[in-house]
Chains A and B, each alone.
Chain A
């Protein structure tokens, strides 16, 4: 017990100022409790490696929730079971630090099983001390996941039954099955020899982190006289004679000699580098003059629709991009949620002289339909006087509406003639631009630079723009 120790490790505070109890020299643990022992081993190890200054100690929820009363280190207090996640966040933010996660059996092996398993599995560079006292100490002696079969607790008044509560969880065995952890050992606190072993294990687990070797866990069978309703002496005996049968001591895993240290290399790019790295510098900062758009085609609200794979979304994005190059306000919205059914895709594009309000286009002024279902579905929605452009080579019906303009373009056929069916979308886009006078060809060429990711496809898409543009011009309404 820490209270009996005369010479206190330096890594403990001299006076426990944070402890609200009037006695600022005594720890808050019950007489005979194992927590104090383990605290002392940790503090001694921090002293020996001279790392207390760069240590962050994560206190759990459980009797050791107030570990921060004692450790003269950085201290953080985690929610029940989440200490390994908090430790992960701390260590990732402070790779040079020594992070210790200290947990009881309720905290680690019940509510926090996911967090410990995954921190271990990632091989987080941290040290975990797992206090297995086979009971919930803090909340007054309820069953823990490590409670032994037939052991009585306040929530297993007739003893833990395998049928009702299952078997005690063996954490050291479990964690040692994972690939990443470098060191897993189970020790116990029942006589001087075992305490000395425990002390060595605690030291090694901390040293591993000092050496940047990875994840270490030490499970410590630890007395809880209050929870067990035994005196401290009987508690020691119970660990030796009963608990150890269920939880054999020993080193379950040690690959510290085999692994290479991993040291995080910091990298701090300059402001200019950051802007390049996150790609916020536009492909070009060219701006293009707006064309003279006839009144009836101004501020188009466009719906582009077709099968997924026809480049519907890209067609729409290219239009938005072209609008942006001419300093219009633009928006592009893909079909989303319930709209996205049956393999069809559509998107909504607004190109406006003033700010775009609703990005949704329920009643388009321009409908670009690349397949028959899209034409059938959206034709009725087009505003009177609007424009419908459709791919004549794929759609074998005519537009029924007589109150709209229609441009039927054999886009797929034209694309095939160019040698690439997939350019039908860009042919159609260019036809729209030329037909309405919305965009000139130079703007469309520039658009291809950001719309077409693969360099080698740019040339054929330029030809597509040429072909579509010519078609649009030729068929312009007089």
Chain B
């Protein structure tokens, strides 16, 4: 099918509908409101339900109810709203319910501002709520990926019975790019664990309670096995000009787009530099980083936060090669020139 020019936030909802999402619960917040607005416009048209909840807390619990009923369901919010949802996400993870949660990050802490930050990395990638859980996290950097990864998120959520995050930023949400859409999914198999309001499924119980410590430990072990399985199967990253690279820049989301231009420009000057962009933040490209750590001179990690992903990079580099960090906060997005200088600085460090 031919492409259409679309904002990332719009692409998310079209993708979700193609993936079979027919229920959306959300609460308005800039810069994620456009997702709710697109959902309100399109989901009822295809026979689904859009409901503006009384709060993010209510919205995520509505998601819990619909997910337990086997529906492909989603919600979207931005940082302060995501903080509120964390209780519900923990219950979803505990009860092993599939759903898709979009976080279009904004500046924090507190009310912060509505400008793009990436300071939710820790709360999203490391779990966020209470308990031994984490969720797959997909970090799109283009309009096409906003749609594609949303569709993937629904499949992963169902395959592994887990909430899945789309971690986006204001830029990827606001940006218009050509997006190509595939065919809608219209057949959905029944799940043997869900409640369908019928005789066959009523034996099922949706719950995160395991009173007995041994049982809860076993449940947690099962969750950990699931996360290991996800780590094994679902890693996605983009390696750009890394084959002969001596220097590596890393960033996700909008930052990776700027870094790509930086790499292109430095390559023109003959600098052997490449970009490693995690598309999934959990699972994290730890092996790739480890492999690079043995052969490159230096890493530069750029984030719109106080240095969150860089901690994971350093963990896997394990001191084998220096890892520099450059971060902007408060919604300041570095220009290409600014990052070019940072990258140059890195390459000059060793000379």
Which residues of A are interface residues toward B (Cβ below 8 A)? Answer: 18, 20, 52-56, 58-59, 65, 68, 72-79, 82, 85-94, 96-98, 114-115, 117-118, 266-271, 273-275, 277-282, 285, 287, 317, 320-321, 324, 329-334, 336-338, 355-360, 362-363, 450
Contact = CB atoms under 8 A, between A and B. Distances in A.
Given A281-B1, A332-B175, A114 B55 contact: yes
Contact of A77 (B62, B174, B209): B209
B61 A336 contact: no
B54 A118 contact: yes
B58 A90 contact: no
Interface stretch (B68-76, B118-126, B283-291, B306-314): B68-76
Nearest to B99: A89
B346 to A, nearest CB: 18
Contacts of A331: 175-177
B284 to A, nearest CB: 23
Interface string B83-113: 0000110010001000000000000000001
A282 B14 CA distance: 13
Contacts of B184: 271, 274-275
A439 to B, nearest CB: 15
A97 B197 contact: yes
A28 B172 CA distance: 52
Contact of B66 (A90, A118, A285): A90
B114 to A, nearest CB: 6
Interface stretch (B154-162, B219-227, B293-301, B333-341): B333-341
Interface string B179-203: 0010110100000000111110110
30 contacts: A55-B197, A74-B195, A74-B204, A77-B95, A78-B91, A79-B64, A82-B64, A85-B53, A85-B64, A86-B68, A89-B62, A89-B64, A89-B66, A89-B73, A90-B195, A267-B47, A281-B1, A282-B3, A287-B2, A331-B175, A331-B177, A332-B176, A337-B331, A338-B331, A357-B257, A357-B259, A358-B257, A358-B261, A359-B257, A360-B336
9 nearest CB pairs, A to B? A89-B65, A97-B197, A337-B115, A357-B261, A267-B47, A85-B61, A89-B62, A93-B69, A77-B207
Given A77-B208, A79-B61, A267-B47, 7 more contacts: A53-B199, A75-B202, A79-B91, A93-B23, A279-B14, A282-B3, A362-B337
A73 B205 CA distance: 9
A56 B205 contact: no
A5 B14 CA distance: 55
B247 interface: no
A267 B331 CA distance: 43
A18 B205 contact: yes
Nearest to A273: B46
B28 to A, nearest CB: 15
Nearest to B72: A93
Contacts of A282: 1-4
B268 interface: no
A235 B28 CA distance: 47
A429 B128 CA distance: 47
B264 A357 contact: yes
Contacts of B51: 88, 92
Contacts of A52: 202
Interface string B145-178: 0000000000000000000000000110011111
A360 B65 contact: no
B331 to A, nearest CB: 5
B42 interface: yes
B205 A86 contact: no
Q: Classify chain B's interface size.
A: 35 or more
B49 to A, nearest CB: 5
Given A115-B61, A330-B178, A331-B177, A79 B88 contact: yes
Nearest to A61: B209
Contact of B197 (A20, A96, A329, A330): A96
B27 to A, nearest CB: 11
A320 B64 CA distance: 40
A194 B339 CA distance: 75
A78 B70 contact: no
B205 A77 contact: yes
Contact of B3 (A76, A87, A275, A324): A324
B216 interface: no
A129 to B, nearest CB: 17
Nearest to B44: A267
Contacts of A266: 47
Contacts of B276: none
B116 interface: yes
Contacts of A329: 178
B177 A269 contact: no
Contacts of B178: 324, 329-330
A331 B254 CA distance: 13
A255 to B, nearest CB: 23
B212 interface: yes
B206 interface: yes
Nearest to B91: A79
Given A85-B58, A320-B5, A94 B197 contact: yes
Contacts of B248: none
B47 A268 contact: yes
Contacts of A114: 54-55, 57-58
Contacts of A78: 61, 64-65, 91
Contact of A85 (B14, B65, B70, B258): B65
B36 interface: no
B232 interface: no
